[in-house]
């Protein structure tokens, strides 16, 4: 019987989300023994009250606690407590839900030859799956597998794919623990791209990567740093810092192709526009400004000082056209 450890970082302000996530684990169509490690990241909602009664015999839930350190640190704590007989590790965010065949399909697809698995999913409130919506995977370019439902071997350079257009979403990932149990998230990335770097590290060690075109996860709308970073959010400037940090990490660790360099430049351009828009948004409303974060951003990207005025002009012109 396969042994699966599921790691759930937990920080929510709404009751019931974790219960739904755990119920989706209990409803998995698999005979695997499942150990769920919920890592309480000083959540306002107590996870202990979210665990369903009468768990199935093959599912156990353990709650770990840490001082607030973000999702990467929480996942790392869960990985550090994975039972020694773990065969597979899966991730599920506390506001997401698996469809019933996720673990069964993942284990079948991984077989004996593949170490990393991911699947298709629905974003919140959408009925079009992400593979179809984003068109970043052309199934004909990958090798169909005999095992699993609509499963394929990923053909190509996953590092390149992640840099140009990441297709791996955390709550759909399952990977083989043996051989990859030393890989950890970089906890300093609290607001963005900690997952991208983790996938790149895993992919560099994996013997092969499998994926399914089936939708196997429904994403939710709980506390999400990425989705909550709209103008005025407490996370906006912090997310920009992690975006710039990611660009620096990728460009200094290995050589990048011209296409990758263009993609990274697009990320930087977007971060710059967000920075200026966020600053203007707060200035117009006399809102608090995180000057420490602003200084950090400007040290990481000194050119922003010169580009701020032209970007502000572009934003103003765009808004003028919108309302005329």
Q: What is the mean pLDDT of residues 134-150?
A: 96
Cα–Cα distance for residue pair 295/292, rounded to 1 Å = 5
- Given a contact cutoff of 8 angstroms between Cβ atoms, the answer to whether 289 and 236 are in contact is no
Residue 92: pLDDT above 80?
yes
- Provide the pLDDT confidence category of residue 310 given band limits of 50, 70 and 90: confident
Length of the chain: 324
Instruction: Please provide the average confidence, as pLDDT, over all residues in the chain.
Output: 92
- Provide the pLDDT confidence category of residue 155 given band limits of 50, 70 and 90: very high
The predicted-structure confidence for 180-226, as pLDDT tens digits, reads as follows 999 999 999 998 899 999 999 999 999 999 999 999 999 998 665 55
Domain 3-218 has CATH 3.90.550.10: yes
The predicted-structure confidence for 253-286, as pLDDT tens digits, reads as follows 878 899 999 999 999 999 999 999 998 888 888 8
Q: Where are the alpha helices (DSSP H) in the chain?
A: 17-26, 70-80, 102-110, 130-134, 158-165, 194-205, 236-253, 258-284, 291-300, 304-323
- In this structure, are strands 88-91 and 174-176 parallel, antiparallel, or unpaired? antiparallel
Q: What is the mean pLDDT of residues 82-107?
A: 98
Instruction: Give Cβ neighbours of residue 77 (< 8 Å, ≥ 6 apart).
Output: 39, 64, 66
The predicted-structure confidence for 157-179, as pLDDT tens digits, reads as follows 999 999 999 999 999 999 999 99
pTM exceeds 0.75 for this model = yes
Q: What is the pLDDT of residue 224?
A: 59
Q: Is residue 245 classed as helix, strand or coil in its secondary structure? A: helix
């Amino acid at each position: 019987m396969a042994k699966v450890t599921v790691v759930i970082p937990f920080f929510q302000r709404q009751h019931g989300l974790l219960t739904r996530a755990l119920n989706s684990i209990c409803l998995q169509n698999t005979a695997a023994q499942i150990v769920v490690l919920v890592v309480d990241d000083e959540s306002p909602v107590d996870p202990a009250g979210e665990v369903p009664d009468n768990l199935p015999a093959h599912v156990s839930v353990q709650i770990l606690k840490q001082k607030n350190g973000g999702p990467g640190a929480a996942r790392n704590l869960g990985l550090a407590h994975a039972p020694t007989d773990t065969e597979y590790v899966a991730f599920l965010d506390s506001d997401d839900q698996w469809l019933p065949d996720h673990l069964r399909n993942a284990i079948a697809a991984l077989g004996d030859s593949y170490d990393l698995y991911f699947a298709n999913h629905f974003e919140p409130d959408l009925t079009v799956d992400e593979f179809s919506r984003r068109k970043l995977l052309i199934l004909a370019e990958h090798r169909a597998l005999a095992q699993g439902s609509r499963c394929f071997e990923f053909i190509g350079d996953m590092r390149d794919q992640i840099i140009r257009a990441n297709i791996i979403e955390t709550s759909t990932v399952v990977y083989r623990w043996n051989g990859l149990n030393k890989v950890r998230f970089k906890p300093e990335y609290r607001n963005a791209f900690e997952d991208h770097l983790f996938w790149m590290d895993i992919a560099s060690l994996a013997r092969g990567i499998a994926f399914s075109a089936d939708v196997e996860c429904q994403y939710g709308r709980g506390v999400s740093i990425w989705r909550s970073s709209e103008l005025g959010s407490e996370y906006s400037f912090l997310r920009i810092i992690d975006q710039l940090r990611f660009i620096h990490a990728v460009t200094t660790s290995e050589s990048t192709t011209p296409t990758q360099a263009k993609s990274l430049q697009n990320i930087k351009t977007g971060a710059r526009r967000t920075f200026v828009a966020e600053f203007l948004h707060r200035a117009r409303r006399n809102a608090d400004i995180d000057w420490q974060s602003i200084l950090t951003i400007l040290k990481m990207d000194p050119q922003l000082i010169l580009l701020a005025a032209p970007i502000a002009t572009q934003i103003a012109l765009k808004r003028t056209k919108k309302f005329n």
